[in-house]
Structure 1
């Protein structure tokens, strides 16, 4: 059987291992960290994940959808909290029953690793750092990072502190090693490889609301949102009755208004009074003394394939800001699309990797841009009347034309329509809406003019 070497045992790497285990391929996965199933604390971003249709479809293909969905909390709407801390508005995500699922990142990762390991042809190599790709030999360069004992046994030499590099040969190499991908970095000198990296001006800090007498402190089946113009707070429920709470704000806002204990408590109490009461002064103080605001990066690159046997996937290909909840879903769809592409090309790896890159790059760039746009929506637009009117209009049109008029958010979240096609459909909708408004304005103007003409004597004409 063919062999595949996967860089990274995160969400996308672990799901790819499940896909290729099903295909019967020989799978080796190399991960810099220790096995997270044995770790008390896992470093890295832990913003709660919102599982939607694209991610569900990928999980369904490997038999994990039902189990994973049942481990999460369904969210049916946004609950927008006003600044008074007492009133709010509810904005359903889509049609009745349509929802996203709040999922714990670590648990999901652990489940997929365990699922993949059930296959005897899958091997995970933890504490193995992927360093680069050997261009000429088309091999993955890996180095074991587990430290040998520095205390020599009597009569032997001291163990070397450096491990030799391992050159991994495989028919297919999948780079799923994250936004700061070592594989992608080693490809940067290749001519015509386009790459862009943008840090946005906003960072984030994560907090927690604990269970209240073993009950949810807030309504659990909604996405809690506190939009405040240029900064925002969100909260998503967990199965253990807690909430993961994240504040997003410009770094200048953190420095100006949240750099001291007094300032940060005053800031939360003024802007998020209901959340402030549940978070508690002690937790807010301890969190901001312990952690600094973390950066958010958007990465694009093209192509996504090289050497007829290497593919960049997930954040290694298209890291995005988390404001559309599509980072994981897009990465999972990468796995599904590539699996489908392999089948379409009768497992011809060379043709499949080229075809995958050709079809996926544009979609990846599109969702990166949409994720950036959606932050404007979350932190500000949701409170504007124009946004609310458009949302109502889209809902009515979807009821009348359920197949041809689907709201933007629903196309992204509740379908597998390619992201690039989603934008084209949205443009057509905008054009139709613009025409309708122009026509309505013209009709209204004509009506007013005719009324004035009919009553011209009254107006002295």
Structure 2
């Protein structure tokens, strides 16, 4: 354990709350501030995308003994269910038998995490608005309004876990030599809802990530414990097949009848859901450095907000905590060394998962309906099953291993270059699992080493 200090965590989301538990178990006094009301007292709906937990997130939870508590509120998802326009459903398994991600309701998970943090002794201060921080003194400035009188709250350390539009990072951005970029995608999202059957069962397969890929837009659904599904419509804000075109009930109903006809039976409240829930934005945010001296550090989305198409925003944030904790174990009370090692190690991997997530929108929205792409994935799985020492598919590297994201990205690009050559073989559709294809892949692996 470290020498006890007073530490503030700004943001009571998933990363901030789990970080607070870690810091409390190191012997520190930990206070968590959030400008919003306690999520346990409010209805959580309208702008959510279900979360998926993979091996990286499970490791962070397991290291502190919380994995079983969280697994009990999740649903294992072992495959994609790809819904084509003609009503056909193709299934694509994620990994080997027994490998699965877990679908988790963001609201249910966040409530559970706060309960666990309070049980550990963390103190929460909801509806406390933090407007600024004096970096050199780790002093938070709190008040009812941005322009009114503030109260100063002095700490030994401050962690900014307050999301993509972090107030803590906003102060850090005003330093010299601070790099920052923010990119809004031209694609937004809207939450929809598939209710449970009258008996509480799920209307469609609960163990699949359901995707309706339609090129530049798609619908996605993940199961909840109560028998419902959280659905998310991703599409451009403007242009053909965009949110700007779905301005009235007739346009919406006709659009879904044309592109998602099989959803009519499972989304009974389409119109009310669509026009009640907001259209939300997606942004990629990068910055560096993530720390100030030994006083202030950013973590999770505050340091590296990404788009949700790989399902790794939470997992990457949890892995930040794993790495930070490893640095604490290595350097003890030397917070300067802890912070330097933390940001230096995590920055390239945060950039890598941002790139992987951006690319995965194209895969999910367009390529999953493409026969050649599906064949390529089939070949990769077949070869990987035969030669696990020679090939692990990119998705498995990212989701079912702890390999650094940057390494997974580099190896994934290398493997894709090999597969591009393999897919050019004559009659690949007929010979895809032949000794000829196997020999070709092995030869290309040897060539490119």
Same fold (TM over 0.5): yes
Counterpart for residue 393 of structure 2: 407
2:187–2:234 Cα contact (<8 Å) kept: yes
Counterpart for residue 249 of structure 2: 261
2:135–2:296 Cα contact (<8 Å) kept: no
Tell me the TM-score normalised to structure 2 length. 0.89
The structure-2 alpha-carbon separation of the partners of 1:295 and 1:25, relative to structure 1 and needing over 3 Å to count, comes to same
Counterpart for residue 37 of structure 2: 34
Post-superposition offset of 1:375 = 0.1
Counterpart for residue 137 of structure 1: 137
Which residue of 12, 15, 18 maps to 1:12? 15
The structure-2 alpha-carbon separation of the partners of 1:287 and 1:374, relative to structure 1 and needing over 3 Å to count, comes to same
2:327–2:341 Cα contact (<8 Å) kept: yes
The structure-2 alpha-carbon separation of the partners of 1:143 and 1:335, relative to structure 1 and needing over 3 Å to count, comes to farther
Counterpart for residue 337 of structure 2: 351
Post-superposition offset of 1:187 = 1.4
Distance in 1 (alpha carbons) for counterparts of 2:232 and 2:424: 41
Post-superposition offset of 1:274 = 1.1
Instruction: Compare CA radii of gyration and give the structure with the larger one.
Output: 1
3-state SS of 1:320 partner: coil
2:133–2:140 Cα contact (<8 Å) kept: yes
2:46–2:277 Cα contact (<8 Å) kept: no
Distance in 1 (alpha carbons) for counterparts of 2:265 and 2:424: 48
2:138–2:156 Cα contact (<8 Å) kept: no
Post-superposition offset of 1:416 = 1.1
- Further displaced range: 126-135 or 92-101: 126-135
Which residue of 5, 8, 25 maps to 1:22? 25
Which residue of 173, 181, 192 maps to 2:177? 192
1:47–1:244 Cα contact (<8 Å) kept: yes
RMSD: 2.1
Distance in 2 (alpha carbons) for counterparts of 1:15 and 1:144: 27
Post-superposition offset of 1:304 = 1.3
Counterpart for residue 158 of structure 2: 173
Distance in 1 (alpha carbons) for counterparts of 2:45 and 2:35: 12
Post-superposition offset of 1:246 = 0.9
**Alignment size in residue pairs:** 421
Post-superposition offset of 1:438 = 8.8
The structure-2 alpha-carbon separation of the partners of 1:45 and 1:12, relative to structure 1 and needing over 3 Å to count, comes to farther
3-state SS of 2:184 partner: strand
Distance in 2 (alpha carbons) for counterparts of 1:175 and 1:34: 18
1:172–1:349 Cα contact (<8 Å) kept: no
Task: Specify every segment of 5 or more residues in structure 2 that has no aligned partner in the other structure, as ranges.
Answer: 428-449
Tell me the TM-score normalised to structure 1 length. 0.87
Distance in 2 (alpha carbons) for counterparts of 1:377 and 1:291: 26
- Further displaced range: 43-52 or 314-323: 43-52
Q: Deviations over 1:342-374 (max 9, x none)?
A: 111123211100110001111111111111100
Distance in 2 (alpha carbons) for counterparts of 1:433 and 1:227: 23
Distance in 2 (alpha carbons) for counterparts of 1:344 and 1:44: 43
